[in-house]
Amino acid sequence: MQYIIDHIPRTTPCNRRPGLAMSPQYITIHSTGNPSSTARNERAWLTNSSNKVTASWHIVVDEKEAIEAIPLTEVAWHAGDGSGQGNRASIGIEICESGNRAKTLENAVKLVAKLLKERGWGIDRLRRHHDWSGKICPRILQPNNWAGWEQFKRDVQKELSGGGSVAQDKNQPSTWAKTAWEWGKQAKITDGTSPQGNVTREQVVTMLNNYHEYLMKVLQK
Ligand SMILES: [Zn+2]
């Protein structure tokens, strides 16, 4: 799944991006309430001139991608609780109701697990829009007394505990480290294994030694 950052401007009408600093404590789950809109449609709506409501969110996810519309360290208006914790201290995730529902939910589970993992959080940080304001949202997870919501949390937990691809990614460098990791392999500073493993002192010295040899070679050219 592709993750696109496409922030709405600070000048977006109706105060949709107030620019208030936020230190998030929760992740709030929504579904869009629109059976036909994609993530791109939802993002476009935020900056559509016929949109007159003060409502926004941080990330929208559909069957093929996730789009971040507001930085995760700024307030968005999605929880319906005024200046409560939902709006002021939670990251709002909109799940699209269009397209392949199973694939969309799988993407949402992976996205949410990644956000939790990056922050060292567990599923106790997850909230429904319903928890903040009583609204039936995310409505796609509401049938049978919120059975879908319980399943969603179990799926996120499974992903966090290493059943899913978040754990498999341990064999790959993180996105932010890919360039440096490839350089390290080419320069023969690392053997290219266990990118996210811990390092011992003898390995540090070996890598420094490898770097020294690499520099000598480069300087002789
Ligand atoms: Zn909602």
Taking only the tens of pLDDT, the chain with its 221 residues reads 999 999 999 999 999 999 999 999 999 999 999 999 999 999 999 999 999 999 999 999 999 999 999 999 999 999 999 999 999 999 999 999 999 999 999 999 999 999 999 999 999 999 999 999 999 999 999 999 999 999 999 999 999 998 655 444 567 887 778 889 989 999 999 988 888 888 899 999 999 999 999 999 988 87
Whether a cis peptide bond, with omega within 30° of 0, leads into 138 is yes
- Look up tokens 């909109």; give the residue: 94
191 Ramachandran zone, left/alpha/beta (phi>0; psi -120 to 50) = alpha
Q: Tell me how far the alpha carbon of residue 192 lies from the centroid of ligand 1, in angstroms.
A: 44
Q: Tell me how far the alpha carbon of residue 143 lies from the centroid of ligand 1, in angstroms.
A: 15
Q: Tell me how far the alpha carbon of residue 159 lies from the centroid of ligand 1, in angstroms.
A: 23
Q: According to the model, what pLDDT value does residue 179 have?
A: 83
Q: According to the model, what pLDDT value does residue 58 have?
A: 98
Q: Tell me how far the alpha carbon of residue 39 lies from the centroid of ligand 1, in angstroms.
A: 15
Q: Tell me how far the alpha carbon of residue 31 lies from the centroid of ligand 1, in angstroms.
A: 6
Tell me the pTM: 0.75
Per-chain residues with Cβ under 5 A from ion ligand 1: 30, 129, 137
